[in-house]
Every structure is written in C-alpha cells, then in structure tokens.
Amino acid sequence: MLNQFESYPFEKLRVLLAYSSPPSNDEIFTLTIGEPQFPTPQNIIESWQNNAPLLNKYPKSSGEDELKDAQLNFIDKRYNLTLTTSQIIPTFGTREVLFNFPQFYLFGKANPTIAYPNPFYQIYEGAAIASKSHIILMNLTEDNHFTPSLTPQELQNVDLVILNSPNNPTGRVLPLQSLTEWVKQALEYNFVIINDECYSEIYENTPPPSILQASIQANNPQFKNILALNSISKRSSAPGLRSGFVAGDEEILKSYNLYRTYLGCALPLPLQKAAAVAWNDMQTPESIRHIYAKNLALAREILELNEAQIAPYTFYVWLKVDNDERFCKFAYEKMGVLTLPGSYLGRESQGKDYVRIALVYDNETTKRALFALKKAIQLYKEEYV
C-alpha cells in the first residue's frame, strides 16, 4: 500500500527546482505554503508558558472541558449555534481527522467509496488510499465555477464526501443554499459529509457559512450525517499548536471518540490551555483577518484581476498560467518568486494550467512579492505566450 502514496507537493517542487537558482541579490518570496508568517498572539504564548508544569499529567484523548467549552463558545459566537459537549471533539488539528476518520468510518464496508474535490489537500487522497476506498474525484474547473458535484449514480454509491469550503486552492465558497442541498442529499442517500472549514476565518467582507448552519436550514438540527472541521492554525497564526475540532453528528462522534482513544492523538495539557485562550479570543483573529483581506485586495489590484479570478476568501490566489511547472521555474529563476504548480494539487490533469500563490505575509512584503510576480508574468508572456 505504501507505494500508492504520492510525494507531497512541496517535495515535488523541491525536485522541480533542484537545478534552478534565483537572481542574485534579489529578495526571495516564498508563496508556496499556507503557513501564516505572523507572530503567534502573546496571550496564547503566555498561557502555554504559564501552564508548562501540566506536562506531568496525561491529557484526555476526548479533550478537557475547558477546551471544549472554548470551542463551543467560538461556534456560538461565530455561527449563532448552540452545540452540546457530545457534539464536538477537540482534535490534533484537522489533519488528524481528515486522515483517520475515513479509516474509522469506512472500515468494514464491502465497497467503501469516498468523494472529494479535485484539486485537493493531499491528506484526502492519503485517507482514501489508507482506507482502501474507491475514489470519486469531483473536478473543480473554471467552467463549473470550481463547484463540486456528484451524479445521481455517484450519490447512490458514495459513503463519505469531503467538502472544502472555503476551498484550498481555488478560494471558492459554497453558499448556504448549496451547502443545504448537500445536507439534503446526505440524508436522502445516507452518506456522511465532512466539510473542511479551516479557512473559514480568512475572508474580505462576508464570513462564509458553515455546514452546521446548512444542516439547521435543511431541518436537520441533530446534524445527522454531518460533520464540520475547523482549526486555529490560520485564524490565530498558531499552526504549531495543533488545535482543531470535529463537530456535528453526536452518534458518529460517540463511536469516533472511542476509536480515537487508541490513536494517542491527545493534545498536551499546556497546549489545550493555550488553545482555549485562542478559541475564546474573537478580537485578535479579526486583526489578522484584516491583513489577509488587504492582501487579497492588493493581489486583485496589482495583478489586474477581478473577484471572479481572485476570490475574497482564503489567502490563496489560484492563478491561471500556461504550463504550471514551466511558469514556476521561470518565476523563481527570473524574479525569485516561489509558487506551487497546480498540477501537484490535482489528479487527471486538473490544475495543470494554474499555480497556487499563498499570501501569508504582512501587507508590505506581500506588495513587493506581488509586483515581482507581476513582472515574472509579463516576462513569461513575452517569452512563451
């Protein structure tokens, strides 16, 4: 099974650029990885430091009450939804759930089938391989406005659907009505939906909806077959804290919680204390959001693109180019701008005409990077297009 896993996109990029060099004496702009480049807020750091002595205790795999309460408070304030402690599990980021939940849920099914967007976050594929599942790729294209969908036959066959709204890499958000239709389909055809919502707090003006809200709209207040994932990695510039949650269907989570006791994924107590501070903080993440919002506006202005080409969500630009690998090499060698080939995020040729650009720096650095990128685009067109 191990040889079925593909190299991670960043390893492929390293191989692609192994013999490439940027211009000498120029600033290098790394726009490849979605890792916030801002300091972690001081209140989080102080909590972690003050609670370091708690390392002498084992944490619960199900999460401490203080952290659960903080995450429930976030859901209440952000989405105006009141959930119970049995409808949420604090997790080791969202990556943990995305990889091991399909193995848990699909285990024992005769012909397990999983569907997810294409291009995608590669953990989705890894989970499908690890669970020995048949894969349905929901292609995201310019023609379908980067919107995932399944045919009636696929809806009949699928067991688990992973949605990603707001989407990495396209920035596409499914409106509440679309999410509500997905919930109705999950109930009608009896499959489970996980919506990966870890970019929910990165937006310009209008906050994107959660599938939990859509479940209420679909008259499914118990969230049957519905799960939402979220994380403070982007929201609070704290990816190293590894704090996320899975929330929704109480019956599924009860069994999944038992499964997780065998995994050893419990968050250390000092980190849980710090994470509780982060989830309860609604002000600091708002200031971080404004930086990302301005970055998106800068990208639209400098690259002379419209909102249809650069979505007002996530911190990614899904930039259309001619020959993604060639452009990435060119932009790095000519202008010192590192981007990620879109084909590394997709399968069956999806993404091959795009590059993903992560706008994760402060506004001034981002501005310099975007002007360098604009120059690279101009030079590339002169030489190749």
Question: Residue 354: beta bridge partners?
Answer: 320
Strand, helix or coil at 97? Answer: helix
Phi, psi torsion values for 203, nearest 5 degrees: -155, 160
Domain's final residue, options 281, 305, 331: 281
- Identify the pLDDT of residue 3: 53
Buried b (16+ CB within 10 A) or exposed e, 97-132: bbebbbbbbbeeeeebbbbbbbbbbbbbbbbbbbbe
> What is the average per-residue pLDDT within 330-353?
97
Q: Mapped to the 3 state alphabet, what secondary structure does 202-219 carry?
A: CECCCCCCCHHHHHHHCC
Per-residue pLDDT for 339 more than 70?
yes
Instruction: Say if CB 244 and CB 196 are below 8 A apart.
Output: no
Q: Are residues 274 and 344 in the same domain?
A: no
Per-residue pLDDT for 341 more than 90?
yes
> What is the average per-residue pLDDT within 299-312?
95
Work out the angle at residue 351's Cα, subtended by the Cα atoms of residues 235 and 323, and round it to the nearest 5 degrees: 120
Percentage of the residues of the chain whose pLDDT score is greater than 90:
94
> What is the maximal distance between C-alpha atoms in the chain?
62
Whole-angstrom CA distances from 48 to 65, 271, 379 are: 17, 6, 48
Number of domains present in the structure of the chain: 2
Q: Are residues 241 and 292 in the same domain?
A: no
The predicted model scores a pTM of 0.96
Q: Are residues 25 and 13 in the same domain?
A: yes
Strand, helix or coil at 60? Answer: coil
Instruction: Say if CB 384 and CB 326 are below 8 A apart.
Output: yes
Range of the domain at 120: 42-281
Q: Are residues 343 and 221 in the same domain?
A: no
Q: Are residues 189 and 145 in the same domain?
A: yes
Domain's final residue, options 248, 281, 314: 281
Interatomic CA distance for residues 235 and 244, integer angstroms: 11
> What is the average per-residue pLDDT within 69-91?
98
Residue listed under structure tokens 């379908």: 144
Q: Are residues 344 and 225 in the same domain?
A: no
Six-digit token pair at 23? 């211009």
Report the side by side order of strands in the sheet with 160-163.
88-92, 243-248, 226-231, 192-196, 160-163, 113-118, 134-139
Q: Are residues 132 and 17 in the same domain?
A: no
Q: Are residues 157 and 221 in the same domain?
A: yes
Interatomic CA distance for residues 267 and 380, integer angstroms: 47
Count CB atoms within 10 A of the CB of residue 67: 27
Question: Is the CA virtual torsion 242, 256, 156, 158 positive or negative?
Answer: positive
Percentage of the residues of the chain whose pLDDT score is greater than 70:
99
Q: Are residues 102 and 118 in the same domain?
A: yes
Mean pLDDT, the chain, integer: 96
Domain's final residue, options 228, 253, 281: 281
Interatomic CA distance for residues 19 and 358, integer angstroms: 23
Q: Are residues 268 and 356 in the same domain?
A: no
Interatomic CA distance for residues 74 and 232, integer angstroms: 11
Instruction: Say if CB 159 and CB 126 are below 8 A apart.
Output: no
169 preceded by a cis bond (ω within 30 of 0): yes
State pLDDT tens for residues 214-238. Answer: 999 999 999 999 999 999 999 999 9
Q: Of 338, 342, 296, 344, which Cα lies nearest the Cα of 319?
A: 342
Per-residue pLDDT for 133 more than 60?
yes
CATH code, domain with 236:
3.40.640.10
- Identify the pLDDT of residue 2: 44
Quickly state the pLDDT bin for 1 (edges 50, 70, 90).
Answer: very low
> What is the average per-residue pLDDT within 288-295?
97
CATH code, domain with 7:
3.90.1150.10
Pairing of β 340-341 and β 337-338 = unpaired
Q: Are residues 15 and 155 in the same domain?
A: no
Q: Are residues 258 and 325 in the same domain?
A: no
